[in-house]
Amino acid sequence: MKEIQFESILDKFGLERLRIRLKIEKGELVDVMYQYETLINEKWVSIVRYDCAHGFFHRDILSPNGDKEKQEIAIDNLKSASKYAEQDLKDRWEWYKERFIKKLKKR
């Protein structure tokens, strides 16, 4: 099995990143992980993650207190799921961060 990992910077300051891990077996995508992270107090903090853990493709929206809001994403194949996850995080990272920061301030 081949595993590919890389990061993509989402903003011009390098404070927002998308971490990606793809697993490929015999030319077929068999597992994916897309995670949006932001730099808070000089530490990378995970805010949203898409993956196939637990046997199904889903999105985990993470809270500052460690809670996870798990949402199943019904998509036919991993290639489409992968494209969906990447596009969602590139389009909506600011909204996800704003939501996370609001919860952080309430603590």
pLDDT, tens digit, 9 for 90 and up, residues 55-83: 899 999 999 999 999 999 999 899 999 99
**pTM higher than 0.85 for the full model?**
yes
Question: Among residues of the chain, what percentage have pLDDT more than 70?
Answer: 100
3-state secondary structure of 62: strand
pLDDT of residue 105: 87
pLDDT, tens digit, 9 for 90 and up, residues 84-99: 999 999 999 999 999 9
3-state secondary structure of 91: helix
Q: Which residue has the tokens 């903003």?
A: 11
Sign of CA dihedral 90, 95, 98, 99: negative
pLDDT, tens digit, 9 for 90 and up, residues 15-52: 999 999 999 999 999 999 999 999 999 999 999 999 99
3-state secondary structure of 82: helix
